[in-house]
Amino acid sequence: MALATELHLQFHAGATVAVVALGFYFHLARWEWALVALAVGAVWSAELLNTAVEAIVDLVSPQYHPLAGRAKDIAAGAVLVVALGALVVGGLIFGPRLWALWVGF
C-alpha cells in the first residue's frame, strides 16, 4: 500500500530496479551483492519507518505543532543519512565499473 501512495518509495523502487539491473550487467561478486542488498534494505527500511512516523504524527497532531514538525524532520533526516550511505556503497561498487565503461567509449 505504501508503494502505491508514497512518491519517495516509488523513487526508491525505481532506484532498486536500476541497481539490480546494473548488478546483473556487471556480474557482481557475491560479497558485492551482499553489500548492495544491505544498502537497499536499509534505505527501504528507513523510508518505511519515516512514512510510519509521518502517519502517526499526522494522526496525533493534525494541527501544526513544532514538535510534530521536528519529529518529521528527524525521521526524514534519518532517511537522508541512510541514502547517502547507500550512495557511497553504490559508488564504491559501481563507480569504477561505470568509469571504465565511460572511458571505453
Which residues does the annotation mark as catalytic? 47
Residue 92 CA: distances (Å) to CA of 36, 55, 104: 10, 35, 19
SS3 57: helix
For residue 82, the tally of other CB atoms under 10 A from its CB is: 20
